[in-house]
């Protein structure tokens, strides 16, 4: 018995993920996975609401009403923030924009979905580690163990570079130059590359960590590894930072009153550089911002800078194929296998 021919939705999913995102748009693996997760959540939601299997859904089943119900479900049932809601909607918009260009018969339908607006969100105050809190977090790491030495170097590198957590976990051995003029090559949003200087103390930590792995480590190997030798994950980094923040609260109770996460370390780098008198344009390049406008928000977050003259900052004194679409599994497993 022949497999059922793929319908418009199945064809669109395959073209979007297998060709359009990686080959036409040059999207990063992180973007592809983020879009995939959004589409999987949406398809499962609609299938459950219609009491169908995912394989029975077609493009016409995914209209603006379903999108709006899905977005409400994210906020009400999954307790997602508005920012997460908008990220999911951006993925759906990208998919339906592709569908409209690939099949003119669906243009009007796709345009109705694309008319679903993003939800306005109130900007939260930027949370960051002050200098004493950074020192307390680093001091809480037990550096007598291999994991502790890795974690100390990881946190120090995050503070030095202001790297996004995804940039840190994808860092390879060959991305670092640790001899003269130490620097690291980071791969940011949209596959944009940038070089970031390393403080001598940070470079020494990274050299020591690399030396523990012996000589001639292949350049494509992950620099920060988990227990299995693979890359640390974004969630792993979040867990480690939360663990050390909890320890450091004893010495720095102010940590308990903040909503801190890996991106807070990036904010801290920006504020630290600003306090050091580094100009906004340089900070923008340092952080890999697409626009200086994004960086300008840091100029208003530090109350200390409004009350007193800028102090000369210094780095923390670190110590040395063909798809079958007959079943739910065939569609969802293909997406999850990307």
My answer on whether 20 and 103 are in the same domain is yes
Which helix (DSSP H) or strand (DSSP E) does residue 193 occupy?
strand 193-197
pTM of the model: 0.67
Catalytic residue among 36, 164, 252, 272: 164
pLDDT reported for residue 290: 66
**Tally of domains within the chain:** 2
Indicate if 109 belongs to the active site. no
My answer on whether 81 and 27 are in the same domain is yes
pLDDT reported for residue 271: 86
My answer on whether 143 and 74 are in the same domain is no
**Rounded to a whole number, what is the largest CA-CA distance in the chain?**
78
258 found inside a domain:
yes
State the helix-helix crossing angle for 328-336 and 8-15, rounded to 10 degrees. 10
My answer on whether 68 and 143 are in the same domain is no
pLDDT for residue 278 is more than 50: yes
Indicate if 189 belongs to the active site. yes
pLDDT reported for residue 310: 36
pLDDT reported for residue 300: 61
Percentage of the chain modeled with pLDDT above 70: 84
pLDDT for residue 299 is more than 70: no
CA dihedral (209, 243, 171, 267) positive or negative: negative
pLDDT reported for residue 127: 85
Which helix (DSSP H) or strand (DSSP E) does residue 113 occupy?
helix 107-114
pLDDT reported for residue 323: 46
86 found inside a domain:
yes
243 found inside a domain:
yes
Catalytic residue among 73, 185, 189, 234: 189
Catalytic residue among 109, 266, 267, 272: 266
My answer on whether 211 and 302 are in the same domain is yes
313 found inside a domain:
no
pLDDT for residue 130 is more than 60: yes
Q: What is the distance between the alpha carbons of residues 118 and 86, in angstroms, rounded to a whole number? A: 6
Determine the structural domain holding residue 291 and report its residue range: 131-307
My answer on whether 241 and 97 are in the same domain is no
Catalytic residue among 25, 44, 225, 263: 263
1 found inside a domain:
no
Return the DSSP state at 251: T
Indicate if 79 belongs to the active site. no
Cβ–Cβ under 8 Å, residues 115 and 126: no
My answer on whether 117 and 137 are in the same domain is no
Beta bridge partners of 187: 193
My answer on whether 67 and 201 are in the same domain is no
pLDDT for residue 229 is more than 50: yes
Cβ–Cβ under 8 Å, residues 248 and 178: no
Tell me what the mean pLDDT of segment 6-10 comes to: 88
Catalytic residue among 98, 187, 244, 298: 298
Lowest-pLDDT choice from 141-150, 152-161, 285-294, 315-324: 315-324
Integer angstrom CA distances of residue 334 from 9, 22, 88, 291: 14, 16, 20, 36
Lowest-pLDDT choice from 1-15, 67-81, 162-176: 1-15
Indicate if 266 belongs to the active site. yes
Indicate if 85 belongs to the active site. no
pLDDT reported for residue 128: 87
My answer on whether 73 and 208 are in the same domain is no
Tell me what the mean pLDDT of segment 41-65 comes to: 94
269 found inside a domain:
yes
My answer on whether 58 and 29 are in the same domain is yes
Among residues 151, 150, 200, 148, the alpha carbon closest in space to that of 179 is found at 200
Encode pLDDT of 188-200 as tens digits.
Answer: 876 788 888 999 9
316 found inside a domain:
no
pLDDT reported for residue 309: 38
Rg (CA), the chain: 23
Q: pLDDT tier at 293 (50, 70, 90 boundaries)?
A: low
- Phi, psi (degrees; rounded to nearest 5) at 250: -60, -45
pLDDT for residue 6 is more than 90: no
- Phi, psi (degrees; rounded to nearest 5) at 62: -110, 80
Cβ–Cβ under 8 Å, residues 132 and 138: no
Tell me what the mean pLDDT of segment 46-55 comes to: 93
My answer on whether 84 and 164 are in the same domain is no
My answer on whether 135 and 260 are in the same domain is yes
What CATH number does the domain containing 242 carry? 1.10.443.10
Indicate if 263 belongs to the active site. yes
Q: Which residues contact 54 (CB under 8 A, 6 or more apart)?
A: 43, 44, 47, 328, 331, 332
Q: Which residues contact 124 (CB under 8 A, 6 or more apart)?
A: none
178 found inside a domain:
yes
């Amino acid at each position: 018995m022949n497999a059922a021919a793929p319908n418009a939705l199945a064809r669109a999913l395959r073209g979007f993920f297998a060709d359009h995102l990686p080959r036409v748009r040059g999207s990063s693996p992180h973007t592809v996975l983020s879009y995939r997760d959004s589409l999987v959540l949406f398809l499962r939601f609609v299938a459950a609401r219609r009491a169908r299997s995912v394989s029975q859904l077609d493009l016409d089943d995914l209209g603006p009403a379903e999108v709006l119900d899905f977005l409400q479900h994210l906020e009400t049932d999954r307790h997602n923030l508005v920012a997460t809601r908008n990220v999911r909607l951006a993925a759906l918009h990208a998919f339906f924009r592709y569908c409209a260009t690939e099949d003119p018969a669906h243009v009007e339908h796709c345009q109705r979905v694309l008319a679903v607006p993003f939800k306005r969100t109130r900007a939260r105050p930027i949370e960051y580690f002050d200098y004493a809190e950074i020192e307390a977090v680093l001091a809480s790491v037990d550096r007598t163990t291999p994991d502790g030495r890795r974690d100390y170097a990881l946190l120090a590198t995050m503070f030095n570079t202001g790297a996004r957590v995804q940039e840190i976990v994808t860092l390879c051995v060959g991305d670092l130059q640790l001899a003269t003029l130490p620097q690291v090559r980071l791969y940011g949003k949209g596959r944009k590359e940038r070089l970031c200087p390393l403080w001598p103390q940070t470079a020494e930590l990274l050299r020591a960590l690399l030396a523990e792995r012996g000589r001639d480590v292949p350049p494509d190997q992950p620099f920060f590894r988990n227990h299995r030798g693979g890359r640390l994950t974004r969630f792993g980094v979040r867990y480690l930072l939360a663990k050390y923040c909890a320890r450091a609260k004893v010495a720095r109770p102010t940590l308990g009153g903040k909503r801190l996460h890996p991106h807070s370390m990036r904010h801290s780098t920006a504020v630290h550089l600003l306090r050091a008198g580094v100009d906004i344009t340089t900070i923008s390049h340092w952080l890999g911002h697409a626009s200086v406008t994004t960086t300008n928000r840091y100029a208003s977050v530090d109350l200390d800078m409004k009350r007193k003259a800028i102090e000369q900052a210094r780095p923390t004194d670190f110590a040395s194929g063909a798809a079958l679409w007959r079943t739910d599994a065939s569609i969802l497993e293909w997406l999850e296998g990307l």
